[in-house]
Amino acid sequence: MTEMSGADMVVQALVDLGVDTVFGYPGGAVLPIYDALFKHPTIQHILVRHEQAATHAAEGYARSTGKPGVVLVTSGPGATNAVTGITDALMDSIPMVVLTGQVPTTLIGTDAFQECDTVGITRHCTKHNYLVMDPARLGPIMHEAFYIATHGRPGPVVIDIPKNVQVATGKYIVPDMIEHKSYRPQVEPDSAAIAEAVAMIAASERPVFYTGGGVINAGPDASAALRQLVALTGAPITSTLMGLGAFPCDDDKWLGMLGMHGTYESNMAMNRADLIIAVGARFDDRVTGRLDAFAPEAKKIHIDIDRSSVNKIVPVDLAIVGDAGRALDAIIAGWQTAGHKPRDLGEWWRRIDGWRATRCLDFPEKKEDAAEIMPQRAVKALYDATHAMDPIITTEVGQHQMWAAQHFGFRGPNRWLTSGGLGTMGYGFPAAVGAQIAHPGRLVICIAGEASLQMNIQEMGTVSQYRLPVKIFILNNQWMGMVRQWQELTYESRYSNSYSDSLPDFVKLADAYGWTGLRIDNFGELEDGIQTMINTPGPVIVDCRVAQLANCFPMIPSGAAHTDMILQPSDVTGTMDDEAKALV
Amino acid sequence: MKIQTEAGERHVLAITVDNEAGVLAKITGLFTARGYNIESLTVADISSDHALSRITIVTNGPPPIIDQIIAQLDRLVPVHKVTDLTDAGAHVEREIALVKVAGTGDKRIEALRLADVFRAKVVDTTITSFIFEITGASEKIDRFVALMRECGLVEVGRTGVVAIARGAEAA
Ligand SMILES: Cc1ncc(C[n+]2csc(CCOP(=O)(O)OP(=O)(O)O)c2C)c(N)n1
Ligand SMILES: [Mg+2]
């Protein structure tokens, strides 16, 4: 076998691993790899405007396709700029491989120009990371890294490659067995546990499925299995923010999202259930509320690929460690073999219907042309106008994110991209870029807050360069609305630094980047404005002015029980004790 | 408002890991990032081909936290195996200390006499000092060091605990 340079090995490995897209930004320490990518016939490189955006774009690509996202950045500031997106991918279990340039091995540790301890900095925000000191190791490490990023609980892997390793030559080795020598995540569920789960579900009178992003990560088949199991058992289902789309919103078993801004019916169902079947969800504090009041009457089954998620927050009665899809398939098979019929859950459903009757997502509004637009209405109108086109929706972080989760319905997995675990403002727009690259023909909309959007707004240039038809729909309330909401709840409306002052004119900004810019000011313009957005080819930014002081309800304040939901603005008292103030 | 902490129990964990750069940092970092305790940590290469190291960690925490620590360690890519020796049953724990004492006259004689009682070996001596080597469970070393403070203790170095399960089998 002939020798090749380290940079060529990196690119060859990407080809061998089926990578078609790399999001990146060049710099001194990755020039050899950039040269190897020059006019590459199969790998397209998407030049972002900031390395953080490369990582979020890779996340958007990954979340919308199920394939790992790939990032290429230089040493020092390139690597440190990528850290937020790497951490975001770790928190939300997104498969991602980040290649970082590094100063030559001879200079490591000397505070050389653009040197930083990338493996040190990313050690605790990656699933695994490598510093490659020998070009002969590049082939095996590249293959192993993709294996680790995509197997078990997915996550980000960093490969730090010193410049002289990129230049040096060696043999490109493809390992015969593309796996890790000892990392063997358990995917096949234990059959005894499955049998027990079947029996528990069959015996339950008040079951509820509580599902999360793990179902999406387990692939479209897992979502299909979930639908089948829900139909077989007749049980209600709720989901976390990350799990939206795994189960269709128009099914009558669907209760809506649960947790802090979840529906009344889903949180009450969790509180009164006698059995909770958690699938690929991790009992996050946003979901459980006050722990000692969480689902007090329920036995709990927890299906998760990551054993460390089990019993981490909530002790469970039955743990099933394994792939969500395989576990669901096994439960379905067990259910059918045992000849179980759906139990009569009529009494349970009657209680649920009672909770549904509170119509907790309703909001007051004036339906006059000149009236201000309620943000919830804007999301609903966007949904009504676009859902038939099966759009991919991304969000930034804040009230608009929660309104999108509450009012935009999803019918399939991989169509809802949002930063759940880390809650990263600046995620949504670059994620939309990544999703659009992966799905050039699809309608991709970023539902943004005017504050969050500005965190990666420079990516307008990327969109122009690659002629991406991304649509940004800003719910512009001229506030960091979620911060202001908490200040109303906790600090007697002392609005410390939460006003979005000195906003740009988004329409002019669109113009400056060669986009189309639209502004929607009142109720009467909403539907037409959305239609214009859809019908305009190319990228569009919509500055939709919404009611400035609207707040997001229902809300379970931090540290409160599921039953202590704030349903209406009038329930807000404006003060909290220190224990509550100390919670996030 | 007060910040609350929970009472714990002591556990000895044996962790087999890839003998690679950064693995120890990954493990100690996990303990600091998640707020777990490390009472002692030892690490050394244990394989003929230098591929594996064994880390012994003595930690402290309530039982659910100990379970979490094990699960969190177990999912790290370079970790091959985690054994809770405290849970696995009877095991042997040993630690070595080197203890330097200086003095003359009665103090020097007393130091030597106590060292004999504790079966500590003299590994270096001058007219005015000794270095003792002592092996045993941590409490035994604690007691020896405490006595040496009365006899002119100058310096002490300890290895931290290594441990292994009793019987013919690997734990
Ligand atoms: C990078 C980052 N910094 C700070 C925060 C804290 N934060 C959460 S929501 C929010 C306000 C978001 O404002 P905007 O984007 O306008 O959304 P809105 O709540 O008004 O819909 C802030 C500052 C965050 N989530 N991410
Ligand atoms: Mg806002």
Note whether A315 contacts B78, CB cutoff 8 Å. Answer: no
Q: What CATH number does the domain containing A54 carry? A: 3.40.50.970
pLDDT of A181 > 90? The answer is no
In this structure, is residue A250 part of a structural domain?
yes
On chain B, the residues whose CB falls within 8 A of the CB of A315 are: 64
Q: Do residues A490 and A387 both lie within one domain?
A: yes
The partner residues of A447 in beta bridges, in order of sequence, read: A395, A473
Query: What's the A481 CA to ligand 2 centre distance in angstroms?
Result: 5
Report the DSSP pairing between strands B121-126 and B129-136.
Answer: antiparallel
| Boundary-marking domain end, from A356, A386, A416 | A356
> Do B78 and A124 make contact, defined as CB atoms within 8 angstroms?
no
* From A171-180, A193-202, A313-322, A559-568, the region with the lowest mean pLDDT: A171-180
A393 and A536 housed in the same domain: yes
Residue A364 lies in a domain: no
Over residues A23-65, the pLDDT tens digits come to 999 999 999 999 999 999 999 999 999 999 999 999 999 999 9
Percent over 70 (pLDDT), chain B: 99
In a domain? residue A362: no
pLDDT of residue A1: 66
| Enclosing domain of residue A401 | 375-552
Looking at chain A, which residue has its C-alpha nearest residue B81? Answer: A182
Q: What is the pLDDT of residues A236-258, one digit of tens each?
A: 999 999 999 999 999 999 999 99
Residue A52 belongs to some domain of the structure: yes
Band (A584; pLDDT cuts 50, 70, 90): confident
Same domain, A454 and A527: yes
Tens of pLDDT along A337-358?
999 998 899 999 999 999 999 9
Length of chain B: 171
Q: Is the CB of A405 under 6 A from ligand 1?
A: no
Please indicate whether residue A424, judged by its CB atom, sits closer than 6 Å to ligand 1. Answer: yes
Q: What is the pTM of this model?
A: 0.96
Residue A482, ligand 1, Cβ within 6 A: yes
Distance (Å) from the alpha carbon of B147 to chain A's nearest alpha carbon: 42
What is the mean pLDDT of the segment spanning A189-209? 98
pLDDT (tens digit per residue) in A461-497: 999 999 999 999 999 999 999 999 999 999 999 999 9
Residue A180 has pLDDT above 90, yes or no: no
Probe residue for ligand 1, chosen from A50, A394, A397 as the CB with the greatest number of ligand atoms within 8 Å: A397
- The CATH code of the domain that includes A338 is 3.40.50.1220
| B71 Cβ under 8 Å from any chain A Cβ | yes
Same structural domain for residues A495 and A445?
yes
Same domain, A207 and A293: yes
Residues from chain B contacting residue A582 (CB–CB below 8 Å) = 1
3-state secondary structure of A422: coil
pLDDT for the residue B166: 96
Same domain flag for A212 and A345: yes
Main-chain phi, psi angles of A289, to 5 degrees: 65, -155
Does residue A516 share a domain with residue A435?
yes
A394 and A327, same structural domain? Answer: no
- Neighboring chain A residues of B65 at a CB cutoff of 8 Å: none
Looking at the fold, whether A389 and A537 belong to one and the same domain comes out as yes
Q: Is beta strand B79-84 parallel, antiparallel or unpaired with respect to B9-18? A: antiparallel
Is A184 contained in some domain? no
In a domain, A176, yes or no: no
Residue A175 within a domain: no
Q: Which domains does chain B have, with CATH numbers?
A: 3-89 (3.30.70.260), 92-163 (3.30.70.1150)
At A444-466, the pLDDT tens digits run: 999 999 999 999 999 999 999 99
**Do A350 and A387 lie in a common domain?**
no
Phi first, then psi, for residue A392 (nearest 5°) are -100, 125
Note whether A187 contacts B: Cβ–Cβ < 8 A: no
Nearest to A514 by CA among A482, A550, A555, A468: A468
ipTM of the complex: 0.90
Residues facing A71 on adjacent strands? A23, A98
pLDDT at A144: 96
- Is A322 in the same domain as A396? no
Q: Is B42 on the interface with A (CB under 8 A)?
A: no
Q: Residue A571: is its pLDDT beyond 90?
A: no
Q: Report the number of distinct structural domains present in chain A.
A: 3
Residue-wise pLDDT for A139-168, tens only, equals 999 999 999 999 999 999 999 999 999 999
Supply A498's token pair: 């939460």
Helix axes of A51-65 and A428-438: crossing angle, nearest 10 degrees? 50
Whether A305 and A259 map to the same domain: the answer is yes
pLDDT of residue B145: 98
Q: How far, in Å, CA of A225 to CA of A327, rounded?
A: 9
Q: How many of the other CB atoms lie within 10 Å of CB of A192?
A: 8
CA distances from B5 to A146, B2, B35, B37, B68 (A): 40, 10, 11, 12, 16
For A405-431, write each residue's pLDDT tens digit: 999 999 999 999 999 999 999 999 999
Q: Is the peptide bond before A537 cis (omega within 30 degrees of 0)?
A: no
Domain assignment of residue A345, yes or no? yes
Q: Which atom of ligand 1 is nearest to the CA of A480?
A: 13
Provide the H-helix boundaries in chain B. Answer: 23-33, 63-74, 85-88, 106-117, 138-149
Average pLDDT (A301-310) is: 97
Rounded distance, CA A416 to CA A396, Å? 12
